[in-house]
Structure 1
Amino acid sequence: MESKPSSLESLRIDRSQTPLKSSSGKAWWVILTVILLAAGAFFWTKRPQAVAVKTAPARVQQGTGGSSAKTLLNATGYVTTRLDATVSSKVTGKVAEILVEEGMKVEKGQVLARLDDSNVQTALRLAEARLESSKRALEEAEPALAYAEAELNRLRGLEQTRAVSKTDYERAEAEARGRRAGLERLRSEVTVSERQVDDWKQQLDDTIIRAPFAGVVTTKDSQPGEMISPISAGGGFTRTGICTLVDMKSLEIEVDVGESFINRVKSGQPVEATLDAYPSWKIPCKVIAIIPTADRQKATVKVRVGFDQLDPRILPQMGVKVAFQSDEAPEPVAANAVLVPKDAVAKSSAGKDIIWVVREDKVERRAVTLGPEQGGDLVVKAGVSSGDAVVLNPPSTLEDGAKVTLEKSR
């Protein structure tokens, strides 16, 4: 008979078997790892991003000190010419020869083209033949008149002594008077023939087209074989010009200035011009005249600006920006002044001039004191040193101490 275990024996733990591992502890470690990874990813994405900026070094103005005039008004315009023409002919005709090409320099009176002159040559030869015939007839009439006058003089002496009848004397007198009138008529015919020859010579000369002034050919408007006329042919294929000629010595700038700002412009005022094709080239100019009328549709007044010195790079119809300068004494600029580009200067929220300077991949905001403009740059009196990398066109979201990546622009 089997004995029953005691109550104390039933409560004993059997350690002969391997205990089971807890699955709940392992789950907590997995959850903690996921949370840490998520937090790391969140902070990685929210970390400050480096801003890409363009920079340029602040530089020192070399040489002895200079001066800079104050700009009163900026405007835009175009290069124009006071003397240009579409060269045509005085007569209608067919182009036989063109002696110019675009870009060619010509002198005043130089032959540009020739028209077909075959018909004019024929008419000129006919007029010359008529002139020769008139001269021959005149040569025949002169001896006849001389004989008639001599006969009249002889009979006049005989008529006084009654040795000849009055009828014979009157006949001789009428003959001399007729010869004299005929000679005058022939002389008039010679004059008329000479005028006709001159007229046809002028028409022949009109078939030769010459330059009315010295200049440069900018366009070639017709070709040999085409018809040309000084007036429009109305729907046909007749050209009205041989070429366009421009006097490069008459170049100037035309600017439309708003009515509200015309009081800042006066004749003789200094102007600084900048061609769109050469933005770094500052061209000294001056105001020639203010046209005394306004455009009511555009509310502008036209201003003529002349170049102090012409240059082959200046071409008609080029776009140009002009800065009307003050004629007061310019503010002096120190010889070693620090210069920065215009687009490096920004405004703070308080309206102060500031410049962002890059140091060790971070930007610093600098309050600056600006001087006059010098050669397209601005003089910085305080706040920036030579060699500092200044940010060009700084974004409005840029903050002090922000990280940046550099890209040099000049």
Structure 2
Amino acid sequence: MSRKSRILVVVVLVGAAVALGLVLHGRSTNAGSAAHGSQGGRAWGAAAGQGQAITVAVGQAGHADVPVTLTALGTVVANASVTVTTRVAGQLEQVFFTEGQRVKKGQLLAQIDPRPYQATLDQYRGDLAQNQAQLKSAQLTLERYRRLVAKDSLAKQELDTQVATVGQYQGAVQADQAQIAAAQLNLQYARIMAPLEGYVGLRLVDPGNYLAAGDTTGLVSITQTDPIAVTFSLPQATLASLLPKVRQGQALPVTALGQLDGTTLADGALKFISNEIDTSTGSLKLKAVFANPEEKLYPNQFVNVRLQTDTLKNAVVVPAAAVQLSSDGSFVYVVGADDRVQRRSVTAGPALGERLAITQGLAGDERVVIRGIDHLRDGAQVRVEGAPAADARR
């Protein structure tokens, strides 16, 4: 055998020996691990069989008045919006407002040339003075005729004619007074006043233009923002609970909330409920009115609406974290005096901040588990966080 052949045989033998050693070592290690795992499993089973306490955090059930609310998306609308138009014809002389200005009810907005209406008023006053003088003269003549008829010195026919003449002048005086009132009204209409308090928009007509009575374009629009309204819709299923209260005149509280941060923008009351259901959406339209002195609500703004329909008096409330949901419904773990838990089915009601109302299943003086629920089962022994150990208590 050559030298190279002998070296090759030696290398093969050494490799085989190393491989055999690794196999034997692996079997020994696996056997040791299996034995250790078996001992660990028996130890875990023994600990479980001893009913080792599970650490949990608990909360206390209590009582509180819980509002029953409905939520919806609402749109802010002006409580009133008016397009100011002229009621008499004439040239627009002056405008006494600036665009975007807040005006008060009755404030002078514009002046139409009053001279034609003043002249008409003066004419009617002159006619009245003339007819009043003729009436006075006719009345004096009537008194004289009555004395003459009493002395049988005048024919009764002339007396009757004079009575009719007095009536004629009385009618003329009344007509003149009515014409004067109409002329005064037209003169008043030449001064255009704000019909409500609010903000004016863009001026639609400049001074110098001729305005015609009944022109629908108008001079300017005024939008009332205090008070202001919010319209929103609710499903038709809410009608049964809402309608009786609204018909009885109850002012149901409504809160407008910001869409981004949920902050309270304004508090108001429900004032209107639609007289029909929208068949395309199956919803009911409602309107609430809010005081808005700080202008936190603005026309066409989107807000969240919370409508309070009722209040659960002295209801049982628990931390929301205590209520769990399963295929059988909602449940909580109640901690007994012996620090064992009982799984109890409950009926959850409306929320009150971070607490939930419980309408069935709990009394108001029980402890409920709020953390560590995942490891619990009915009857499990627990240790409450922060409470002394059982040995220490003994």
Cα offsets for 1:206-227 (capped at 9, x unmatched):
32333334x2124244333344
Q: Does the 8 Å contact 1:286/1:308 carry over to 2?
A: no
In the alignment, the residues of structure 2 paired with residue 261 and residue 173 of structure 1 have an alpha-carbon distance, to the nearest angstrom, of 82
State how 1:204-215 maps to structure 2 within 5 Å: 204-213=187-196, 215=197
Q: Does the 8 Å contact 1:220/1:244 carry over to 2?
A: no
Equivalent residue letter for 1:243: S
Percent identical residues: 19
Per the alignment, residue 303 of structure 1 pairs with 286
Distance 1:229 1:315, change over 3 A: farther
In structure 1, the gaps of 5 or more residues are 1-64, 157-168, 233-237, 339-370, 376-380, 384-410
In the alignment, the residues of structure 2 paired with residue 69 and residue 103 of structure 1 have an alpha-carbon distance, to the nearest angstrom, of 44
TM norm structure 2: 0.52
In the alignment, the residues of structure 2 paired with residue 70 and residue 111 of structure 1 have an alpha-carbon distance, to the nearest angstrom, of 47
In the alignment, the residues of structure 2 paired with residue 116 and residue 200 of structure 1 have an alpha-carbon distance, to the nearest angstrom, of 14
In the alignment, the residues of structure 1 paired with residue 159 and residue 86 of structure 2 have an alpha-carbon distance, to the nearest angstrom, of 51
**Corresponding position: 1:219 with 2:194:** no
**Corresponding position: 1:317 with 2:272:** no
Secondary structure at the counterpart of residue 301 of structure 1: strand
Per the alignment, residue 336 of structure 2 pairs with none
2:167 to 184, 187, 190: 184
In the alignment, the residues of structure 2 paired with residue 271 and residue 153 of structure 1 have an alpha-carbon distance, to the nearest angstrom, of 81
Per the alignment, residue 96 of structure 1 pairs with 93
Secondary structure at the counterpart of residue 122 of structure 1: helix
Distance 1:242 1:96, change over 3 A: farther
1:252 to 216, 223, 229: 229
In the alignment, the residues of structure 2 paired with residue 67 and residue 124 of structure 1 have an alpha-carbon distance, to the nearest angstrom, of 71
Per the alignment, residue 217 of structure 2 pairs with 239
State how 1:70-219 maps to structure 2 within 5 Å: 74-154=71-151, 156=152, 169=153, 173-213=156-196, 215-219=197-201
Q: Does the 8 Å contact 1:123/1:200 carry over to 2?
A: yes
Deviation of 1:290 after TM superposition, in Å, equals 3.6
Secondary structure at the counterpart of residue 295 of structure 1: coil
Deviation of 1:320 after TM superposition, in Å, equals 0.6
Deviation of 1:318 after TM superposition, in Å, equals 1.6
Distance 1:282 1:176, change over 3 A: closer
Distance 1:221 1:151, change over 3 A: same
Per the alignment, residue 8 of structure 2 pairs with none
Q: Give the aligned length.
A: 260
In the alignment, the residues of structure 2 paired with residue 95 and residue 277 of structure 1 have an alpha-carbon distance, to the nearest angstrom, of 47
Deviation of 1:302 after TM superposition, in Å, equals 0.9
Secondary structure at the counterpart of residue 315 of structure 1: coil
Cα offsets for 1:181-239 (capped at 9, x unmatched):
333322322222222222212222232333334x212424433334445645xxxxx63
Per the alignment, residue 328 of structure 1 pairs with 312
In the alignment, the residues of structure 2 paired with residue 173 and residue 372 of structure 1 have an alpha-carbon distance, to the nearest angstrom, of 95
TM norm structure 1: 0.50
In the alignment, the residues of structure 2 paired with residue 289 and residue 68 of structure 1 have an alpha-carbon distance, to the nearest angstrom, of 27
Q: Does the 8 Å contact 1:274/1:280 carry over to 2?
A: yes
Q: Does the 8 Å contact 1:68/1:372 carry over to 2?
A: no
Q: Does the 8 Å contact 1:67/1:333 carry over to 2?
A: no
Equivalent residue letter for 1:131: L
- Tell me which protein shows more helix as a share of its residues: 2
State how 1:309-388 maps to structure 2 within 5 Å: 311-324=294-307, 327-328=311-312, 374=353, 382=371
Secondary structure at the counterpart of residue 138 of structure 1: helix
Cα offsets for 1:54-101 (capped at 9, x unmatched):
xxxxxxxxxxx9989688654211112443332333334443333334
Deviation of 1:306 after TM superposition, in Å, equals 4.2
Deviation of 1:278 after TM superposition, in Å, equals 6.7
Q: Does the 8 Å contact 1:138/1:186 carry over to 2?
A: yes
Deviation of 1:272 after TM superposition, in Å, equals 4.3
In the alignment, the residues of structure 1 paired with residue 187 and residue 266 of structure 2 have an alpha-carbon distance, to the nearest angstrom, of 47
Distance 1:263 1:139, change over 3 A: closer
Superposed CA RMSD in Å reads 4.3
In the alignment, the residues of structure 2 paired with residue 284 and residue 331 of structure 1 have an alpha-carbon distance, to the nearest angstrom, of 27
Secondary structure at the counterpart of residue 192 of structure 2: strand
Cα offsets for 1:338-394 (capped at 9, x unmatched):
9xxxxxxxxxxxxxxxxxxxxxxxxxxxxxxxx96749xxxxx548xxxxxxxxxxx
Deviation of 1:126 after TM superposition, in Å, equals 1.3
Q: Does the 8 Å contact 2:271/2:287 carry over to 1?
A: yes
Equivalent residue letter for 1:313: K
Deviation of 1:254 after TM superposition, in Å, equals 0.8
In structure 2, the gaps of 5 or more residues are 1-61, 246-250, 322-349, 355-369, 373-394
In the alignment, the residues of structure 1 paired with residue 84 and residue 143 of structure 2 have an alpha-carbon distance, to the nearest angstrom, of 55
Secondary structure at the counterpart of residue 204 of structure 1: helix
Equivalent residue letter for 1:200: A
